[in-house]
Amino acid sequence: MTLTRRSALVTGSTSGIGLAIARALAREGANVMINGFGDAEEIAALCRDLAAEFGVEVDYDGADLSDPAAAAALVRTTQARFGSLDILVNNAGIQFVAPIEEFPAARWDAIIAINLSSVFHTMSAAIPSMKARGWGRIINVASAHGLVASPFKVAYVAAKHGVVGATKVAAIELANDGVTVNAICPGWVLTPLVERQLQDRARDAGTDVLTESGLMLAEKQPMHRFTSPESIGAMAVFLCSEAASTITGAPLSIDGGWVAQ
């Protein structure tokens, strides 16, 4: 158990990529604070199941990351609950799609607040104790859209580019403090959200999910294969390992060749 006695906070971790990262860290022995939205009973069951399966402590805080004070308080709550915060994974994010001239200002503000500003607020709150302890791992889940653009996603692309930039700044500032800061940049990931999108596309086009999967992948990726959430969890675990102790400030693509083009 490579992360025994470490404690982690994973935002946006009640499903999808965040949950896969939380599971991967717990499997390696880390105590984990879950955060996100969902049914209260289902989340409570999720915490109990993770704790029982991996023999670690798991707790939940439903902090609304669009609120700067709540984002910072989430870090302090995690530190108080487990005695420290060693691993911060900023994964929470939302999406909206529209041409720029039709993009609602409220949607822009919400996406920037959750996808970008919360990353600043949690890092700012977590960094002092990581520096004091001489060890820390900050992993910001960006996107292929943190490196390249697509139409109709102005807020998401701007936010994810900002996440990559903030990651680089933090990595430089913390380079000699035992704290690494990296960004994982996924392409198409087969999450429940994407599965629902494929079902909707198949219904609207009168095709099937397999056909729409191929079309979706071919739009962006040379490799016509989805990344699994578990693969991203494994990458997060690697970034927490001693083998990755000099990897910092890196936007790490896991995208089937999306940004190689």
Q: Please give the distance of CA 159 from its chain centroid, rounded to a whole number.
A: 13
Interatomic CA distance for residues 210 and 199, integer angstroms: 10
Q: Please give the distance of CA 106 from its chain centroid, rounded to a whole number.
A: 23
Interatomic CA distance for residues 261 and 175, integer angstroms: 31
Tokens read off for 44 = 């409570």
Nearest to 115 by CA among 76, 164, 52, 81: 164
Q: At what angle do helices 16-27 and 40-54 cross, to 10 degrees?
A: 30
Contact, 63 vs 71, CB < 8 A? yes
Q: What is the set of active-site residues?
A: 156
Nearest to 138 by CA among 103, 172, 104, 186: 172
Residue in this structure with the two tokens 């102790």, named with its chain if needed? 245
Tokens read off for 12 = 């946006």
